[in-house]
Amino acid sequence: MAEFLYRHFGTRISERSSGRILRSIGWTRKTIRRIAQQRDDDLRDRYLHRISQHQSYQLAFVDESGCDRRAGYRRWGWPPKGSSPVEITKFSRGKRWHILPVYAQDGIVYD
């Protein structure tokens, strides 16, 4: 924000001062929630309806964990009090490393 004010108005202000000003007008600093542009709410609702027909012991979940070299995403934003900062962005990755555990009702599945 300090950089934006300088570029557009030629005014230098510290990040600390900008945070203090935003707090004084009722804004809060929160973690940004990222939403994929490719998200399909109808498809997600159909999936939830479909799995609700099964018992918990019939379900197993794969938890893909991984890392890549993405950098430069903002973690924090300043929304008005009572709302969440949201950033709609294209999710793209470079080379990625994965682990793939499977979870069932009784814990991690080993085989």
pLDDT score for 86? 84
What is the length of the chain?
111
Which one of 15-19, 31-35, 51-55 scores highest in mean pLDDT? 51-55
Q: Give me the percent of the chain exceeding a pLDDT of 70.
A: 89
Phi, psi of 93 (to 5 degrees): -135, 155
Residues in a beta bridge with 35? 88
pLDDT score for 44? 93
For residue 94, pLDDT beyond 70: no
For the purposes of burial, counting CB atoms within 10 Å of the CB of 28, is it exposed (0-12), middle (13-18) or buried (19 or more)?
Answer: middle
The full set of domain ranges for the chain reads: 28-108
**8 Å CB contact between 109 and 60:** yes
pTM of the model: 0.39
For residue 71, pLDDT beyond 60: no
For residue 89, pLDDT beyond 80: no
